[in-house]
Structure 1
Amino acid sequence: MPRWGRELLGWTVAAAIAIAAVAVVAASPRSELLFRDGDSLVTTLVVHSLAIGQPQDWAMSSVLFLPEIAVLWMLSLLGLGINATLALAGVVNVLALYGALRVAAGSALRARAPIAGALLGLTGFALLAATEGSASRDALELASLLTTTTYYSATVVAAVLGVGLARRAIDRNDVSRGTPVAWGLVVTLALVAAASVLTNPLFAAWATVPLGAVLVVVAWRRADVWWMAGALVTGSIIGYLARMPLAHLIANTGAGYIDPSQWRASLDYYGVLLADRWSAPWGAASLLLIGALWAGSIAVTRQLAARRRVGAAIVAACGWVMPLLVIVGAVVLGTHAARYLQPAVFAPLLTLTVLPALLPDRLTVTRLVPAVGTAAVALVAAAGLGIPSLVAAATAPDADLDCVVRWTEDSGRTGGGQFWTVRLPKTHLADPRGLVQLDHQLRGYAWLMNRDDFAVGEVSFLVMDDQSPAFELPAGVSLSDAEMTACGRYTIADFGDRTLPIGPLRS
């Protein structure tokens, strides 16, 4: 089979794996994060705001979600609807991970069975994602976060891609002895680092520090590697500086999430999450698999280093160095968020991409008929099981949500609600400005939303549910003054002609 045919076959199988993985997540309670979570909807709200021509004045977290927004905007042009677009974005994210793993697996001219290695890594991801079924965003279920558009999917892909670019540069230097530095790959690595830090400074902790550390160790024996380490650091610095003109969009720099004095509380927090994961269905199996991948990464690193396959050894080393440094760093800095530990899951997958390098030279890794047969089976499984499951999850009726959306649009007025309550109905409105995000004291809550929403100055009804605390209304106003409309899990308190002023903004 020609090389392009093998690559096409690899992408075909990867697409089938991606569809199957997202279908499993969408059919589980984890679909809450995919379709309905307040954080997960920020990219959809941005795309929706752009589509209606609203002035853009966003209050974002330290993460700007620039690649995720761009991809979601392009997918939204297909006109599939909100949930279907989010499901498709999940499939695209998994395919992007395959692309990054394919880069890390090496060139077909210089690596053994790189397509098989990349598919092996993607299969490992799919198995881990299939074991995760909690609706909680704080659960230690990290693989399935890649299927969302807001839990750092672009940063995950960029971190894997960065490792792959470093490996490709070293492999090229090994065979191009007249060219001591692969400048094109060095510049590309710098650009990836700059763009990644621009959109999410967490890339520096996930990739710049651990990959840089591995490159520095190798650089003591290979001078050309210093260029890659320098490109990684320089690109990260440029990306951080590029954030300065966008400071008005960043409502929280992330500095408040760091408190080294809380390291013991952080250790206890992650320990509880680990115990919960161990006791969850399939949780112990996933942790054992991750542990085996960590241990395997160390063993594979030693084997590849002994065989002087430097590029592949760097990939395998990142499989255990990244998780080690990120986990220790998260505890030392006193953080309390499971999503910060995602390298513990995706980094060991890198080792699977280089496993074929340890196979005997005379072993025939790929034959045409088995490869085509595998692709056919995968496509049939995806089409027969994954796609219908995805469609069912994306089109599942939500009468309560429909009730709020219909009532709001029929009223022709502007209402308000708290973060976890109002974001889902707001996302599904034809004009998201029909619902404004408030806190319990009716102050404008400028967090992951467009500040232009608050230009209306007042609201005439409130949307409530059990996820948010009771409102503290102005003096002389009570809920008894409102006409209540029940919409299942939501309740609409309509004050009619009486309006409630929006208080000062906070984030």
Structure 2
Amino acid sequence: MRGGWREAAGWAAATGLAVFVAAQMAASARSELLFRDGDSLVVALFVRSVLEGQPQDWAFSSVLFMPEAACFALLRLVLPWLSVDALFAVNAVVNLVALYGALRLTAGRRSEGRSPVTWSLAAFVAFGLLVVLETSPSRDALEPASLLLTTTYYSATVVSVIAVVGLVRRHVEGGWAGIPYVLALVAVVSTLSNPLFAAWATVPLGLLLGLAVLRRRPHAPAPLLALLTGTAVGLLARIPFSAWIANTGAGYAQPSQWTQSLQYYASLAGERLTAPGGVASALITVALLAFCLRRTMRCTGGARFVGTAGWVIPVLVVIGAVALGTHAARYLQPVAFAPVLSLVALPRSIRMPRVAARMAIAASAVVVLVLSVVSAPRLAASASADDRDLRCVTAWIDASDRTGAGQFWTVRLPKLHLNDPAQLVQVDHTLRGYAWLVNRADFAVGQVTFLVEDAQSQTWELPAPGAAPDAVIPCGRYTILDYARHPLPLGPPRS
């Protein structure tokens, strides 16, 4: 019974801390990625189109967002009265709590002399601190921890990688005989949804397990076979979805540009280190990596595997990202989440007088309660903040009962907030349908009668360059060009 109360208290504390961390991000400039970034809205757009029964012909990237979409759809069905921004905020909290669950799995079973709940919370706090220290509005900034809170930037993959480490540990320490089957299932679903799972988990963990097999460790063959088989099945399972995959990911790999990639990531790191928050994040990460190395050198069994995974995963991912010539900070998320595994690798109980222990627990409970109570209204306020410019453009389009168009970075936020998202078609600057993270069924309309633009829009190259709009409607950062009397034809779609 006492163990049950400890577990419940751990989940409650993690939820309270998650609300605080999400509120901090939502109140910072980083909220741009949480509520408004063009990439970040794809899951919400997809879920809405499915739940509203629209024709489905989606063009995704190499990521299918299956667990993320399922989570967001469930939240919308359970909390139908919430606005889409409020759902984003709740989803951020859910993602963080799921991370705690994966860390708790990785910390291992309770036993004499072990405090896995305490150390899981410690690891969760360390990750939360990294999130709080990230405040840039740029999706290209080297601030990978906060990406977990979005619905788009691989939150399910982050959780699944840590969960796989935990499942291997449980198997090593003599857990339930069906663990390899669960591991294989996680690998199938994760790879099916996001092949990046293979780079973040299968390659580095497969390497560790393969070395264990060569050393004749009896615990290694089963999880290695499960991981490799699950990944292979997940890749094969993507074939039926090939029509929805606009980019298989092969185009992202350009090994000949590895020097440019190295310079790119080095410049991001240098820019990050110019800010106090970046310096603090770097110091925390280096300290956690040092703890991981310590676990590798001084521990055995499951603890050693977890600690080693904590530094091997980010090292191999960074090397691989550079070697493949990639240019995207989001690929380096393991640098943020993997090192915290050092804190759950060896969750020994901290010896202290019973009175002092109770006082520490009580003080921690009070702190968490205060943080959550104060942060909940702050998170709600951030999610309900009025965007007058967005309200202006969506009100005009809703009232027009017509279909218009806009470019990717401009159109996606208004599109999500319209009564009928199909009233805005995503195009490029030449009015060709732009089939990227959007439902291609929108292009069937054939022509549009207005354009929406903002500072992110390229200069239009219209089919009839001499035609001037009938009216220009200013909406703050948006401008609506009305072509009601001479509709503009859409060109053939491109991705």
Global fold match (TM > 0.5): yes
**Which residue among 156, 167, 189 is the counterpart of 1:195?**
189
Does 2:489 match 1:501?
A: yes
Does 2:299 match 1:299?
A: no
Report the counterpart of residue 155 of structure 2 in structure 1.
153
Equivalent residue letter for 2:58? W
Deviation at 1:273, TM superposition (A): 0.2
Describe how 1:166-181 pairs up with structure 2 within 5 A.
166-172=168-174
Describe how 1:11-90 pairs up with structure 2 within 5 A.
11-77=11-77, 78=79, 79-90=81-92
Q: SS where residue 279 of structure 1 aligns? A: coil
- Does the 8 A contact of 2:303 with 2:346 survive in 1? no
Tell me the distance in 2 between the aligned counterparts of 1:362 and 1:214: 36
Report the counterpart of residue 431 of structure 1 in structure 2.
420
Describe how 1:468-483 pairs up with structure 2 within 5 A.
468-475=457-464, 477-478=466-467, 480-483=468-471
Query: For the structure 1 residues 230 and 361, does the alpha-carbon distance in structure 2 shift closer, same or farther, using more than 3 Å as the test?
Result: farther
Report the counterpart of residue 377 of structure 1 in structure 2.
367
Report the counterpart of residue 487 of structure 1 in structure 2.
475
Tell me the distance in 2 between the aligned counterparts of 1:418 and 1:130: 32
Query: For the structure 1 residues 407 and 362, does the alpha-carbon distance in structure 2 shift closer, same or farther, using more than 3 Å as the test?
Result: closer
Q: SS where residue 40 of structure 1 aligns? A: helix
Q: Deviations over 1:216-253 (max 9, x none)?
A: 22332412311111110110000000000110110000
- Does the 8 A contact of 1:444 with 1:503 survive in 2? yes
Q: SS where residue 441 of structure 1 aligns? A: coil
- Identity across matched positions, percent: 53
Deviation at 1:426, TM superposition (A): 0.2
Equivalent residue letter for 1:218? A
Tell me the distance in 2 between the aligned counterparts of 1:360 and 1:441: 65
Stretches of structure 2 lacking an aligned partner (at least 5 in a row)? none
Decide which moves more: 360-369 or 182-191. Answer: 360-369
Deviation at 1:281, TM superposition (A): 3.3
Deviation at 1:297, TM superposition (A): 0.6
- Does the 8 A contact of 2:107 with 2:347 survive in 1? no
Equivalent residue letter for 1:123? V
Report the counterpart of residue 109 of structure 2 in structure 1.
107
Deviation at 1:380, TM superposition (A): 2.1
Does 2:324 match 1:336?
A: no
Tell me the distance in 1 between the aligned counterparts of 2:302 and 2:219: 12
Tell me the distance in 1 between the aligned counterparts of 2:225 and 2:355: 37
Equivalent residue letter for 1:75? L
Tell me the distance in 2 between the aligned counterparts of 1:137 and 1:49: 25
- Does the 8 A contact of 2:433 with 2:492 survive in 1? yes
Describe how 1:230-245 pairs up with structure 2 within 5 A.
230-245=225-240
Tell me the distance in 2 between the aligned counterparts of 1:476 and 1:17: 55
Tell me the distance in 1 between the aligned counterparts of 2:404 and 2:453: 11
Report the counterpart of residue 222 of structure 2 in structure 1.
227
Tell me the distance in 2 between the aligned counterparts of 1:135 and 1:423: 17
Tell me the distance in 2 between the aligned counterparts of 1:64 and 1:250: 8
**Which residue among 393, 397, 407 is the counterpart of 1:404?**
393
Query: For the structure 1 residues 191 and 365, does the alpha-carbon distance in structure 2 shift closer, same or farther, using more than 3 Å as the test?
Result: farther
Report the counterpart of residue 348 of structure 1 in structure 2.
339
Tell me the distance in 2 between the aligned counterparts of 1:17 and 1:156: 19
Q: SS where residue 248 of structure 1 aligns? A: helix
Report the counterpart of residue 179 of structure 1 in structure 2.
none
Q: SS where residue 40 of structure 2 aligns? A: coil
Does 2:312 match 1:317?
A: no
Report the counterpart of residue 415 of structure 1 in structure 2.
404
Tell me the distance in 1 between the aligned counterparts of 2:116 and 2:8: 13
Tell me the distance in 2 between the aligned counterparts of 1:125 and 1:111: 25
Report the counterpart of residue 176 of structure 1 in structure 2.
none
Tell me the distance in 1 between the aligned counterparts of 2:329 and 2:381: 29
Tell me the distance in 1 between the aligned counterparts of 2:356 and 2:406: 57
- Does the 8 A contact of 1:105 with 1:117 survive in 2? yes
Equivalent residue letter for 2:136? S
Q: Deviations over 1:17-65 (max 9, x none)?
A: 1011111110110000000000000001011112221011100000000
Tell me the distance in 2 between the aligned counterparts of 1:10 and 1:474: 61
Q: SS where residue 141 of structure 1 aligns? A: coil
Does 2:438 match 1:445?
A: no
Deviation at 1:476, TM superposition (A): 5.1
Q: SS where residue 179 of structure 2 aligns? A: helix
Query: For the structure 1 residues 27 and 362, does the alpha-carbon distance in structure 2 shift closer, same or farther, using more than 3 Å as the test?
Result: closer
Tell me the distance in 2 between the aligned counterparts of 1:262 and 1:363: 58
Deviation at 1:360, TM superposition (A): 7.2
- Does the 8 A contact of 1:110 with 1:171 survive in 2? no
Q: SS where residue 497 of structure 1 aligns? A: coil
